[in-house]
């Protein structure tokens, strides 16, 4: 089993390695048991504890070009091709390079994805994942559950992050044991609540559109956030997601939460809005009959988003991008009730 | 008026979701334009719509609706039913027109008030 510790400690110069270098991982800091702790973590943790559950993926009909944009925007190197939790293949940067070279960027992913997939199972111990990363050259593996459903994706980075986090918890425990006076003081800084998540929104994929907004609502519900605030955030997220889907070439929806505010940002790759003032007016729309038959195109989305948000920003350049930001202030819980 | 009552009143069928849900109708919103639905401020909405698509369910989830009724017995796709199950939104299919469904729900509300 000792063969795995070098995997954690070496590797390429990624930013995770830099963090690693700054983390006091030497024998002294860990009370001389570092490898024991790591081994224990590798067994205790399962792939499902570490994998990313929010999977950025594309449907089979998405073009290689769309996949390329999504890869680029999310700075990832592999993109599962999946519908209704079923995994069909993976599009990698290599497939994109071949597409650019061969001139088939407008063909669907299903025609060019790799179908011979190496996958991990959610219930496997983390030590398995490390062995896979060692044995194959892939940077990430899709994770399936017992019913062969796609439930996550795991990269070396995810494993590193989880191990580093757990190690730092262990270290803090040890520090507390050796230096009890170090407790308290200075903790307030690190308590700052910060959360960010991003969803790719594909042009014209109306069957998935709204999915990000639904996830955002579910995520907010898990936190202690006022119900009416959640509803306002969800309305803006949904309107902006649908706008990206039906009016743009595709883009991303980003959720950012900190102690003071919830922020929804919708960014897309054009075509942009020529007259922003007109577009934001109630009832103005360029929607066609198809869009209207799908329940949209009343021309109310942007004004709805503006209405629910505490701060509303929009910027656009024709032919380039549209970016809309809705900020929702989180009321301070500590404030005494009025009257 | 729970979702089971709605099914009875509208001669409908529960296609997805929990028949035993204790939530009661707070307001009926009959609309096919999703932005209009998102604009409403009511709680515990029963959404009555002819838009038989995933988007009707997703919109209902956003506004915290207690159920969705598709009127005119419009055919429901498999994905729509799956989304309703995933988001735990009771989904009802009714053969009535939007107008008749509204009238029946209205009468049922009046009867409830009198009782
Ligand atoms: N991301 C975008 N990229 C390009 N154009 C956009 C974008 N978002 C909105 N627009 C333009 O602004 C108009 C108004 O948008 P808005 O969301 O208010 O209404 P709508 O999407 O047409 O209808 P509704 O939102 O009521 O379904 C759209 O018809 C479209 O022309
Ligand atoms: Mg819109």
Digit-by-digit pLDDT tens for chain B (115 residues) are 999 999 999 999 999 999 999 999 999 999 999 999 999 999 999 999 999 999 999 999 999 999 999 999 999 999 999 999 999 999 999 999 999 999 999 999 999 989 8
pTM for this predicted structure: 0.63
Atom nearest to A291 CA in ligand 1: 27
Rounded distance between C-alpha atoms, residue A89 and residue A86, angstroms: 9
Predicted confidence at residue B41, as pLDDT, reads 93
Domain(s) of CATH 3.30.565.10: residues in chain A: 189-329
Minimum Cα–Cα distance from A306: chain B residue: B39
Q: Does residue A274 have a pLDDT over 70?
A: yes
- The residue that leads in pLDDT, A6 or A238, is A238
Dihedral of CA A91/A92/A98/A100: which sign? Answer: positive
User: What's the pLDDT score for residue A123?
Assistant: 87
What per-residue confidence (pLDDT) applies to A337?
52
Q: How confident is the model at residue A77 (pLDDT cuts 50, 70, 90)?
A: confident
Confidence of residue A334 (pLDDT cuts 50, 70, 90): low
For residue A20, pLDDT over 60 is answered with: no
In angstroms, rounded to a whole number, what is the distance separating the alpha carbons of residues A7 and A127?
11
Categorize the per-residue pLDDT at A15 as very low, low, confident or very high, splitting at 50, 70 and 90: very low
Q: Which residues of A touch B47 (CB under 8 A)?
A: none
- Considering the segment(s) A189-329 as one domain, its CATH architecture is 2-Layer Sandwich (3.30)
Is the CB of residue A299 below 6 angstroms from any atom belonging to ligand 1?
yes
Task: Give the distance from residue A232's alpha carbon to the nearest chain B alpha carbon, in angstroms.
Answer: 9
When the candidates are 3.40.50.720, 3.40.50.880, 3.90.1170.50, 3.10.580.10, the CATH number that belongs to A50-158 is 3.10.580.10
ipTM: 0.94
Q: Look up residue A91 and give its two tokens.
A: 């599009």
Taking residues A147-151, report their average pLDDT: 90
Report the percentage of chain A scoring pLDDT > 90: 48
CATH 3.10.580.10 in chain A, residue ranges = 50-158
Average pLDDT over residues A297-326: 95
Name every residue whose Cβ is closer than 8 Å to that of residue A50 and which is 6 or more positions away in sequence.
A126, A129, A154, A158, A159, A161, A162
Return the C-alpha torsion angle B42, B48, B49, B54, nearest 10.
70
Q: What is the pLDDT of residue A335?
A: 52
Burial of A10 per CB tally in 10 Å (0-12, 13-18, 19+): exposed
Query: Domains plus CATH for chain B?
Result: 3-114 (3.40.1390.20)
Per-residue pLDDT reduced to its tens digit, A258-272: 889 999 999 999 899
Give the CA angle between residues A225, A229, A230 to the nearest 5°. 70
List pLDDT tens digits, range A167-188: 777 777 777 766 554 444 333 3
B82 preceded by a cis bond (ω within 30 of 0): no
Binned at pLDDT 50, 70 and 90, residue A4 comes out as very low
pLDDT at A137: 80
Whole-number pLDDT of residue A185: 39
Of B36, B53, B87, the CB nearest to A214: B87
pLDDT for A336 equals 53
Q: In this predicted structure, what is the pLDDT of residue B64?
A: 96
Q: What is the 3-state secondary structure (H, E, C) of A170-229?
A: HHHHHHHHHCHHHCCCCHHHHCCCEEEEEEEEECCCCCCCCHHHHHHHHHHHHCCCCHHH
- CA A87 to chain B, closest CA, distance in angstroms equals 17
Residues B10, B69 contacting (CB under 8 angstroms): yes
What's residue A34's pLDDT?
Answer: 58
Structure token pair of residue B14:
């529960």
Token pair for B13? 């069928």
Q: Please say if the pLDDT value at position A39 is more than 50.
A: yes
Instruction: Round to whole Å and give the CA distance between B59 and A234.
Output: 9
What's chain A's average pLDDT?
Answer: 82
pLDDT band at A195 (very low <50, low <70, confident <90, very high): confident
Ligand 1 proximity of A248 Cβ (cutoff 6 Å): yes
pLDDT band at A124 (very low <50, low <70, confident <90, very high): confident
Q: Which residue has the higher pLDDT, A147 or B43?
A: B43
Lowest mean pLDDT among A26-40, A105-119, A162-176, B76-90: A26-40
B6's enclosing H/E stretch is helix B3-9
Q: What percent of chain A has pLDDT over 70?
A: 83
Residue to mutate (ligand 1; options A210, A237, A239, A243; most atoms within 8 A of CB):
A243
Nearest to residue A247, comparing CAs of A203, A305, A186?
Answer: A203
Closest residue by Cα to residue A236 from A213, A218, A258 = A213
Asked if the model's pLDDT at residue A19 lies above 80, the reply is: no
Distance CA A132, CA B32 (A): 50
Contact B56, B34 (CB under 8 A): yes
Contact A68, A98 (CB under 8 A): no
φ, ψ of residue A266 in degrees (nearest 5): -115, 120
**Cross-strand bridge partners of residue A197:** A255
pLDDT for the residue numbered A136: 84
What are the chain A neighbours of B82 within 8 Å (beta carbons)?
Answer: 84
Residues 6+ apart with CB under 8 A from A28: none
Ligand 1 and A34: CB distance under 6 A: no
> Is A295–B32 a contact, with Cβ atoms under 8 angstroms apart?
yes
What is residue A3's predicted lDDT score, i.e. its pLDDT? 29
| Ligand 1 within 6 A of CB of A235 | no
Q: How far apart, in whole angstroms, are the C-alpha atoms of residue B34 and residue A68?
A: 31
Tokens encoding B66: 């207690």
Widest pairwise Cα distance in chain B: 40
- Determine the Cα–Cα distance for residues A32 and A40; give it in Å rounded to an integer: 14
- CA gap A209, A215 in Å, rounded: 11
Q: How far apart are CA A180 and CA A310, in angstroms?
A: 44
Distance separating alpha carbons of residues A48 and B101, to the nearest angstrom: 46
């Amino acid at each position: 089993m000792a063969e795995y510790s070098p995997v954690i400690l070496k590797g390429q110069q990624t930013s995770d390695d830099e963090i690693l270098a700054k983390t006091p991982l030497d024998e002294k800091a860990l009370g001389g048991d570092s490898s024991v702790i790591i081994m224990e973590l590798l067994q205790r943790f399962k792939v499902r504890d570490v994998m990313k559950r929010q999977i950025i993926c594309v449907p089979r009909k998405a073009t290689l070009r769309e996949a390329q944009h999504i890869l680029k925007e999310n700075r990832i190197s592999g993109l599962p091709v999946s519908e209704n939790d079923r995994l069909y293949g993976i599009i990698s940067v290599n497939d994109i390079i071949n597409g650019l070279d061969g001139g088939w960027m407008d063909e669907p992913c299903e025609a060019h994805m790799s179908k011979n997939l190496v996958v991990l199972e959610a219930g496997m111990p983390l030590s398995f994942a490390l062995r896979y990363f060692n044995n194959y050259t892939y940077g990430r593996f899709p994770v399936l559950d017992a019913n062969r459903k796609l439930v996550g994706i795991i990269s070396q980075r995810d494993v590193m992050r989880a191990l580093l986090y757990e190690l730092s918890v262990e270290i803090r425990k040890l520090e507390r044991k050796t230096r009890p006076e170090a407790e308290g003081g200075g903790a307030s800084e690190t308590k700052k609540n910060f959360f960010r998540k991003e969803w790719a929104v594909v042009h014209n994929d109306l069957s998935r559109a709204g999915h990000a907004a639904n996830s955002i609502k579910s995520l907010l519900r898990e936190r202690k956030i006022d119900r009416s605030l959640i509803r306002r955030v969800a309305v803006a997220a949904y309107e902006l997601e649908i706008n990206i889907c039906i009016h743009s070439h595709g883009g991303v929806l980003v959720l950012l939460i900190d102690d003071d505010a919830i922020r929804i940002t919708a960014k897309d790759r054009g075509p942009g809005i020529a007259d922003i003032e007109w577009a934001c007016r109630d009832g103005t729309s360029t929607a066609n009959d198809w869009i209207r038959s799908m329940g949209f195109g009343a021309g109310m989305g942007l004004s709805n988003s503006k209405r629910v948000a505490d701060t509303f920003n929009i910027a656009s350049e024709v032919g380039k991008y549209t970016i809309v930001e809705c900020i929702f202030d989180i009321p301070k819980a500590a404030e005494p009730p009025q009257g | 008026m729970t979702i089971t009552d709605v099914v009875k009143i509208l001669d409908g069928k529960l296609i997805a979701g929990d028949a035993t849900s204790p939530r009661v109708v707070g307001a009926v919103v009959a609309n096919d334009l999703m932005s209009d639905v998102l604009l409403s401020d009511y709680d515990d909405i029963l959404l009555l719509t002819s838009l038989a698509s995933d988007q009707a369910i997703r919109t209902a989830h956003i506004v915290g609706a207690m159920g969705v009724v598709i009127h005119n017995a419009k055919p429901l796709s498999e994905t729509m039913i799956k989304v309703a199950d995933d988001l735990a939104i009771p989904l009802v299919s009714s053969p009535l027109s939007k107008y008749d469904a509204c009238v029946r729900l209205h009468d049922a509300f009046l009867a409830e008030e009198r009782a």
